[in-house]
Structure 1
Amino acid sequence: MPSPLFTRLQATADRLISTYGQAGSIKRIMPPDPILGGDGAETVYAATLVPMTFDQRYVNGTTLLSTDRQLYISSVGLAVVPQVGDIATAGRVDYHVIAADPNNYDGVTNVVYIVQGRIP
């Protein structure tokens, strides 16, 4: 059962991301069928997100580059949980998802997705 606190936090995060964010997408490329082969299936999910620059004190040049962006993605209405290997698009810029955090504190409600995106 979802906690009322986390439901309110999810609504607040959605409101802020909807106000200050932009329309974008999450693209997931599924691998080809291991038996039949062929091309992998590509699925695009609509999302609302906010790309932000990481604080420079955390940039170390190996796991976190100066060109990486922190993407806040609203969990409300998103049909997929962002994961490593997805491609997040915001403002016609594609970001490869390097790390993903669903911010799921009670085990039920995904409050907001925060991912590390890297420009290829």
Structure 2
Amino acid sequence: MTDPLYTRLQATAQRLITKYGQAGTIRRITPSDPVTGGDGTTRDYPCRLFPAGYDRRYVDGTNILASDKQLYIGSIGIGVSPKVGDVAIGADGTEYHIVHDDPNNYDGVTDVVFITQGRVA
């Protein structure tokens, strides 16, 4: 059962991302079948996202690079949960390869917001 607190937090996060964020796309590339071969399929999912830089104290040059962005992705109406290997495309066309994902799913039912680490290709 959905906790009303997480539903309110989800709505607040979505409202802030809609207000301050930008239109974007999550591009998921599924690999080809190893038996039959062929090309992988690409599917785009529209979303709202807000790219933010990391605080300098977290940048270590290995796990988090200076050019990495923290991408806050709204969870309402996205259709997929962003995961490692996906590509988030911002409104300006910048492609961020998702290298770490955190769904912020505290009750196991409601995805409040997706916070991912995006690395510019």
TM-score range with shorter-chain normalisation?
A: over 0.9
Tell me what 1:107 maps to: 108
Partner amino acid for 1:59?
V
| TM-score scaled by length of structure 1 | 0.99
Q: State how far apart, in whole Å, the 1-side matches of 2:61 and 2:22 are.
A: 28
| TM-score scaled by length of structure 2 | 0.98
Q: State how far apart, in whole Å, the 2-side matches of 1:114 and 1:82 are.
A: 9
- Residue 80 of structure 2 corresponds to residue 83 of structure 1: no
Cα drift, residue 87 of structure 1: 0.2
Contiguous gaps of at least 5 residues in structure 1: none
Tell me what 1:26 maps to: 26
Q: State how far apart, in whole Å, the 2-side matches of 1:107 and 1:68 are.
A: 28
Tell me what 1:6 maps to: 6
- Give the 4+ runs in structure 1 shifted more than 6 A: none
Q: State how far apart, in whole Å, the 1-side matches of 2:19 and 2:11 are.
A: 12
Cα drift, residue 112 of structure 1: 0.1
Q: State how far apart, in whole Å, the 1-side matches of 2:107 and 2:55 are.
A: 28
Tell me what 1:118 maps to: 119
Helix, strand or coil at the partner of 1:33: coil
Provide, for residues 44-68 of structure 1, a one-character-per-residue CA deviation record: whole Å limited to 9, x for no partner. 0001000000000000000000000
Q: State how far apart, in whole Å, the 1-side matches of 2:29 and 2:86 are.
A: 7
Trace 1:36-51 onto structure 2 (pairs within 5 A): 36-51=36-51
Helix, strand or coil at the partner of 2:83: coil
Cα drift, residue 17 of structure 1: 0.2
Q: Which moved more, 1:65-74 or 1:26-35?
A: 26-35
Q: In angstroms, what is the RMSD of aligned CA positions?
A: 0.5
